[in-house]
Structure 1
Amino acid sequence: MSEKIRLEYQPPHDFSNLLGFFAKRAIPGVERVDDASYRRIFILDGKVGEFAVTRAKRGHALDLHIDFADTACFPDIAARVRRMFDLDADITAINAHLGRRRHLKACIAKHPGQRLPGGWDGFEIAIRAVLGQQVTVAAARTLTERVVRKFGHQVDTPQSGKVHLFPTPAALAEAELGGLGITGARIATLHAIAAAARDGRVDFRRERPLAEFVSMWTALPGIGDWTAYYLAMRGLAQADAFPAGDIVLRKAVARDGKPVATKALEEMSQAWRPYRAYAVLHLWRSTMA
């Protein structure tokens, strides 16, 4: 069954910026991103489907084009896409609050439509976050593609032909990841994440408090505060997730040319609550200008 669903949002919304973010990280075969759309092949309830997201021609909305056999799953698919593109944010309130802060005023004025880039699946985000530790975005994408091609389930899709989908927790928990360019320590972390997700010891339940989520994930080997907060930002659309130890953030608010200390940044960020994750995206973006 095919259907187009209109996903409305409160403007402004920087759709182009999100497309750029996803394009740099797109998994070949699974995701396709261009200047006007995001497309993905997925599996849900054991069935394979595809969707595409484009900007609606009228009004403040995105158009979601779904090709999937079970229409009962359409609301779930739409909800996931809404989180991917952060369509439920009260951007007026966020901008009004952060726009009064010294380090963020110019950022908000320059990019008022900044949103949190989400993801289709929390487990996938977690695996990709570990693969991306201490390497470039391009290198992380290459590692991800290798993992997907070797351990992802191959499906035959009507529009895209044969494609390897992202591996399941069960597939990666015991996978032989050697020879793919992944360090031994990260292989151990990937195995730990996959086993924990398979066994239900970690999850992305949206009702879980942020502190509890961070504690749950940092209990795994190789997962520190930075990664846990990053997962909360992207996997839960948690608006107040804040990796205070991030060196780029500490440089973005530098004093006398020196990065502020983690504790000082944590104290400074209290004025940005409850929207610190948006402050993170703005400050990261300001360093790339």
Structure 2
Amino acid sequence: MNFSFSYRRPFDWQSHLAYLAYRSIPGVEIVTETTYARTISMAERLGHFIVEFEPGSNRVNIDIRYSEPQLFSQIIEKIKSIFDLCADSEHIDKFLAKDKRLKPMVNQFPGLRVPGCWSGFEVAVRAVLGQQVTVKAASTLVSRICARYGQPYQSTIDGLSYVFPEPEIIQWSNLDNMGIIGRRTEAIKGIAESVTSGQLVIDSSIDSKEFVDKICTIKGVGDWTAFYIAMRALNDPNAFPYSDLILRRSLTRKELTPKQLLALSESWQPWRAYAVMLLWKSYGVQKQRDLMLVKK
């Protein structure tokens, strides 16, 4: 079934897709310059969808391949969340540009949005595996889990071959010999157990502070992990992983302490998650420029 939606400009969907592409899970997601495709599981039925952006327009096309049409509205809402399609970027950019530190970044990168997710549990696993390792290293570990425990899926799209495993599966899985250190294995299993039992909910239905407090009681889960999940899975526009090393290095020549960064971010409320995307983007672009200069 095909759908088409418009969104408010500005929206830097190219950067949004690039963010998702860099973190994509082989076999579960495929990202190109204009499209995002992934497998899904709802109500014990498997399927997939494709999202395609039209260059030069403010429209996005969605193709859903799923056997239960009564759930299409839920799927569409999740897709809107993944791409933050309902955000008023013009308003958010104007607000953040009031800060003299952020204004040059807003001018350079207008329309950045906060990537959501299909599954809060999936993002939680990804966040735990991303602790103190590179993005690519975390992607490798996630892909190993999916290859071993993901449910096989036959798709019309080459490269979509399984769905991300449910918490009920991960709770009892053996994650040994996959390159995952013991503390992270314990954290992943702890999250899976809490989600399966209903003690932990990882979506926008729960208050962000309540979520952070709950998930931080799980051994191996700290504030960075909790706030990152809140950004992407709870769609909290004010979530702020203030201990993030890149954020602490992005604003001043001297690295800020988490406490200093948190104090500095007060004026960015209630849009701190969007400030995070600006700072990450700006830092990444600057690092690329520095690398190019070194190569010359």
TM-score range, shorter chain: over 0.9
Q: 160, 176, 179: which is aligned to 1:178?
A: 176
Normalising by the residue count of structure 1, what TM-score does the alignment of the two structures yield?
0.94
Deviation at 1:153, TM superposition (A): 1.6
**AA paired with 2:99?**
R
Q: How does 1:32-47 map to 2 (within 5 A)?
A: 32-47=30-45
What's 1:266 paired with? Answer: 262
Deviation at 1:207, TM superposition (A): 3.6
Q: 176, 185, 194: which is aligned to 2:192?
A: 194
Q: 102, 105, 108: which is aligned to 1:107?
A: 105
Q: Distance in 2 between matches of 1:169 and 1:207?
A: 18
Deviation at 1:211, TM superposition (A): 1.3
Deviation at 1:122, TM superposition (A): 0.4
Q: What secondary structure is seen at the aligned counterpart in 2 of 1:38?
A: strand
Q: Is the Cα–Cα contact under 8 Å of residues 120 and 203 in structure 2 kept in the other structure?
A: no
Q: 138, 141, 156: which is aligned to 2:139?
A: 141
Q: Is the Cα–Cα contact under 8 Å of residues 7 and 82 in structure 1 kept in the other structure?
A: no
Q: Distance in 1 between matches of 2:106 and 2:156?
A: 43
Q: Is the Cα–Cα contact under 8 Å of residues 118 and 233 in structure 1 kept in the other structure?
A: yes
What's 2:125 paired with? Answer: 127
What's 2:50 paired with? Answer: 52
What's 2:247 paired with? Answer: 249
Q: How many residues align?
A: 285
CA offsets 1:39-67 (integer angstroms, 9 cap, x no match)? 11111111111110111467422111111
Q: Is the Cα–Cα contact under 8 Å of residues 30 and 163 in structure 1 kept in the other structure?
A: yes
**AA paired with 1:266?**
L
What's 1:95 paired with? Answer: 93
Q: 257, 273, 286: which is aligned to 2:282?
A: 286
Q: Distance in 1 between matches of 2:19 and 2:159?
A: 26
**AA paired with 1:279?**
A
State the superposition RMSD in angstroms.
Answer: 1.5
Q: Give the stretch that moved more between structures: 99-108 or 202-211.
A: 202-211
Q: 83, 86, 97: which is aligned to 1:85?
A: 83
Q: Distance in 2 between matches of 1:51 and 1:263?
A: 42
Q: Which consecutive unaligned segments of at least 5 residues does structure 1 have?
A: none
Deviation at 1:164, TM superposition (A): 2.5
What's 2:272 paired with? Answer: 276
1:229 aligns with 2:227: yes
Q: Is the Cα–Cα contact under 8 Å of residues 154 and 162 in structure 1 kept in the other structure?
A: no
CA offsets 1:80-111 (integer angstroms, 9 cap, x no match)? 00000011111121011101101100110011
Q: Is the Cα–Cα contact under 8 Å of residues 152 and 166 in structure 1 kept in the other structure?
A: yes
Q: Distance in 1 between matches of 2:256 and 2:93?
A: 24
Change in Cα spacing, 1:161 to 1:212, as seen in structure 2 (3 Å) is closer
Q: Distance in 1 between matches of 2:146 and 2:22?
A: 17
**AA paired with 2:106?**
I
Q: Distance in 2 between matches of 1:184 and 1:6?
A: 45
Q: Distance in 2 between matches of 1:37 and 1:137?
A: 21
Q: Distance in 1 between matches of 2:20 and 2:221?
A: 23
Q: How does 1:1-40 map to 2 (within 5 A)?
A: 3-40=1-38
Q: How does 1:155-170 map to 2 (within 5 A)?
A: 155-160=153-158, 163-170=161-168
Q: What secondary structure is seen at the aligned counterpart in 2 of 1:52?
A: strand
**AA paired with 1:136?**
T
What's 2:291 paired with? Answer: none
Q: Is the Cα–Cα contact under 8 Å of residues 34 and 54 in structure 2 kept in the other structure?
A: no
CA offsets 1:121-169 (integer angstroms, 9 cap, x no match)? 1000001111111111111111111101111122333444882221111
Change in Cα spacing, 1:204 to 1:251, as seen in structure 2 (3 Å) is same
